[in-house]
Amino acid sequence: MRLPLMRILSFILIAITLANCANRGTPTGGEKDVEPPIILQTTPENFSTNFKGNEITIRFNEYVKINDLSKQLIISPPMDTQPTITPTSIASKIVSIKIVDTLKPNTTYALNFGESIVDNNEGNPYPYYRYVFSTGDVIDSLSVKGYVEDALLNEPDTFVSVMLYEKDSTYTDSLVYKEKPRYITNTLDSVTSFSIDNIKAGTYKMIALKDQNSNYLFNQKTDKIGFHEGFITVPTDSTYKLKLFNEEINFKAIKPIHDGESRIIFPYEGNYEDIKIKVLENKPEGFKTRITKDRKTDTLYYWYKPKFDVDTTFFTVTNGKQIDTFKHRFRTIKSDSLTLKSLINGVIKYEEDFAIEGNIPFSKIDTTKISIIDKDSINIPIKVKYDSIYNTYKFPIKKGEDQKYNFKFLPGAFTDFYDGTNLDTLSYSVRTKLKSEYGNIRVNLRNAKLPLIVQLVSTSGDIKYEQYAKESPVVDFTNLVTGKYMIRAIFDANNNEKYDTGNYLLGIQPERTSYYPEEQEVRSNFDLIIEFTLSD
């Protein structure tokens, strides 16, 4: 009985082993398909003339599907109503394009699919397929080429539209706001160069647009714009450079909102620095006001005392020559009490000042009720700077290495616009690091035309540090937080110590910028010397 049992167990073991061997490799069905689909037939044929129909079909050798059509498809000239293109969510061997719009006579149309047509199995794209037809006797065959840069960023945006507006008797510069262009192309997702093809001879205005709404119309609030100064004439052998920038938004006053017992919100768009707010009637006796700004939003806070004895009044908001008048209705809202917060906690940088912000405008500060003591219990002399726009008191002190500073504010140290005070004792602590924990960069500006604004920026373009080079081409950045930075120089053409963007309607290009070609890594206790040669 024992031998048959052993044989049975042996057969079972062999069977399991053979089964495992059989399953060890799963058939792959052959080599992976890396070939793009092949077009077998188009109806009508590509580059047809005297096009009269309303449907185009493209037959492939395998099943295909369409990906990301909204970004990839560029139709030049744009159609007011987009054609219906199938398949959308399923695979098919036929791509159908049904034209809904009324086509213009004697016009060459180009449908640029980018890489949106892919095979169903492996997603291999048909590379940059273009279908071209003409409603007239000829196919326009001229081209305009160039590339796109960003005025401030080291790398331009992706999917930038480049457009041509024909200069004829109806042309005005404002067409970019209200009419689609004559011709259009796109830089797609990884290429900064462009080629507008199948255009006819003529004179054109060239515009680049980072079109957030994909409607080929310039929206100053959301879109970046770039333009070639003057007009271009086609045919041409020139290569054109377009520089994208955000315009400064035109000023617009927005209807005010009653937000507190004696506080009104005045929202706005554009620049706030020259805004003036005035009451037209029913002003109480002894009327006083203060204006502060929200740190994050385009909002001004209008504080007043005493309260109005009427239900409504009128305000004017003036900015330069622009005047807006608003009727305002007062509401009954509970008053707030003064609250304070520190803008810096934990580690304080050597170039920073400790700061206190209030929710109600300050009217005065009592420095006898304030103390600043370091870790050795030494009193630090008190200095105060007040920022009325952001309602902030700053306390500049000379800071030492590896120090700790304790700020104490006794009750009554701060008084607000309505004579309220802080009722509690407030204590805050900040500390400094050793200077050896930071790094330093010296930038030697070669071929420099001063003045220059020199900045250390993140890869996304956020400004981390800034110096103004007015007299010397040597710029020192000290006590830098460790990390990676790009070095950017701005050519301050008008000597106003800030970057000035462009304006399309005024024909103003943004101030020129230049990047050092390599990202720099700042390490602790390490000094970098950079030779930054600027182009003419």
In tens, the pLDDT along 204-263 reads 999 999 999 888 999 999 999 999 999 999 999 999 999 999 999 999 999 999 999 999
The CATH number of 145-244 is 2.60.40
pLDDT tens-place string over residues 474-503 = 999 999 999 999 999 999 999 999 999 999
Beta bridge partners of 302: 264, 291
Q: What is the mean pLDDT of residues 523-528?
A: 97
In the three-class reduction of DSSP (H, G, I as helix; E, B as strand; rest coil), residue 254 is classed as coil
* pLDDT confidence of residue 6: 52
Beta bridge partners of 108: 134
The CATH number of 438-533 is 2.60.40.1120
CA atoms within 13 A on the CB side of 41: 6
Percent of all residues in the chain with a pLDDT value above 70, rounded to a whole number: 93
Q: Which H or E run includes 149? A: strand 142-150
* pLDDT confidence of residue 459: 87
* pLDDT confidence of residue 86: 92
Domain 340-433 shares a fold with domain 438-533: yes
The amino acid present at 51, given as its one-letter code, is F
Task: Decide: residue 96, CB within 10 A, 0-12 exposed, 13-18 middle, 19+ buried.
Answer: middle
Residue 194 and residue 177: Cα distance in Å, rounded? 22
Whether the pLDDT of residue 455 is over 60: the answer is yes
Neighbours of 471 (CB within 10 A): 8
* pLDDT confidence of residue 241: 96
pLDDT tens-place string over residues 310-323 = 999 999 999 999 99
pLDDT tens-place string over residues 255-286 = 999 999 999 999 999 999 999 999 998 899 99
pLDDT band of 21, cuts 50, 70, 90: very low
Length of the chain equals: 536
* pLDDT confidence of residue 24: 46
* pLDDT confidence of residue 214: 83
- Could you tell me which of 335, 315, 218 has the C-alpha nearest to residue 268? 315
Residue 530 and residue 443: Cα distance in Å, rounded? 5
pLDDT tens-place string over residues 113-123 = 988 999 998 88
- Read off the tokens for 528: 């970098």
CA atoms within 13 A on the CB side of 25: 4
Tokens 């305000």 identify what position? Answer: 315
Q: What is the mean pLDDT of residues 85-106?
A: 93
DSSP secondary structure of 403-471? -EEEEEE-TTSEEETTS-B--S-EEEEEE---GGGSEEEEEEEET--S-EEEEEE-TT--EEEEEEESS
Dihedral angle sign, alpha carbons of residues 175, 101, 182, 112: positive
User: What are the boundaries of each domain within the chain?
Assistant: 39-134, 145-244, 258-329, 340-433, 438-533
The conformation of residue 531, written as its DSSP 8-state character, comes to E
Contact 418/262 with Cβ under 8 angstroms? yes
Contact 269/254 with Cβ under 8 angstroms? yes
Residue 374 and residue 29: Cα distance in Å, rounded? 74
Whether the pLDDT of residue 29 is over 80: the answer is no
* pLDDT confidence of residue 18: 47
Residue 228 and residue 165: Cα distance in Å, rounded? 12
Residue 19 and residue 192: Cα distance in Å, rounded? 56
Contact 69/86 with Cβ under 8 angstroms? no
Contact 172/154 with Cβ under 8 angstroms? no
pLDDT tens-place string over residues 131-181 = 999 999 999 999 999 999 999 999 888 889 999 999 999 999 999 999 999
Contact 290/303 with Cβ under 8 angstroms? yes
pLDDT band of 25, cuts 50, 70, 90: very low
Residue 199 and residue 140: Cα distance in Å, rounded? 5
Q: What is the largest distance, in Å, between two alpha-carbon atoms of the chain?
A: 119
The conformation of residue 297, written as its DSSP 8-state character, comes to S
* pLDDT confidence of residue 191: 75
pLDDT tens-place string over residues 346-397 = 999 999 999 999 999 999 999 999 999 999 999 999 999 999 999 999 999 9
Whether the pLDDT of residue 15 is over 60: the answer is no
39-134: which CATH architecture?
Sandwich (2.60)
Contact 391/361 with Cβ under 8 angstroms? yes
pLDDT band of 460, cuts 50, 70, 90: confident
- The rounded mean pLDDT for the chain is 92
Whether the pLDDT of residue 5 is over 90: the answer is no
Domain topology for 340-433: Immunoglobulin-like (2.60.40)
Whether the pLDDT of residue 27 is over 60: the answer is no
Q: What is the mean pLDDT of residues 13-30?
A: 49
